Homo-oligomer: A and B are copies of this chain.
């Protein structure tokens, strides 16, 4: 009943199907791989219209990755999904501080969310960073405030929280900044989408050998 296919062959055919189903849709050449990988991850073609890219964001992000940028994310799921091995070829690491005890303690003391505290902890790393936010609007709100007061200048913000409360608004708030941005406008997004966008960018620089 099933043809024997390797995961690599399945992925290749999947992208062929996605490309065929999008043949009447014009995608910017720089964005196409990213949009297709998000659709590959979700089977949801809404992302053709949801995803916003700031001017020149892809080339800026690729340069940052080549220069060894690290990625900070707001969920352990996204951290598990980002291809850390591929990123490590360029010197970058993947961080998620959500489960750290100092973060929990500080969130409690300061009556804020762990996600917001994680953004401050990331800034204190004092190194070039991509922020991949797939869950917490409070992370985006805090990050926007840190950008606004020039405490951090991200190489890229991937703003793709999912949900129904403060999500749409926090993404629109981030879009008022002038940092390089990829945003899933509207309610949709998620840790899987955040990881897919990171991987699509990393894979543009080549996939490692199996």
Q: Which residues in A have some Cβ–Cβ distance to B below 8 Å?
A: 1-3, 5-7, 10, 13-14, 17-18, 40-44, 75-81, 113, 115, 136-138, 141, 162-167, 169-170, 173, 186-192, 195
Contact A165 B17 (CB under 8 A): yes
Contact B79 A7 (CB under 8 A): no
Once bound together, how far apart are the Cα atoms of A42 and B112, in whole Å?
25
Classify the interface of chain A: helix, strand, loop or mixed.
helix
Once bound together, how far apart are the Cα atoms of A78 and B186, in whole Å?
24
Once bound together, how far apart are the Cα atoms of A1 and B170, in whole Å?
10
Contact B2 A163 (CB under 8 A): no
Return chain B residues, CB-CB under 8 Å to A191.
77, 81, 192
Given contacts A2-B141, A10-B165, 13 further A-B contacts (CB under 8 A): A2-B137, A2-B169, A2-B170, A5-B165, A14-B163, A17-B165, A40-B164, A42-B42, A43-B187, A75-B81, A77-B191, A77-B195, A81-B191
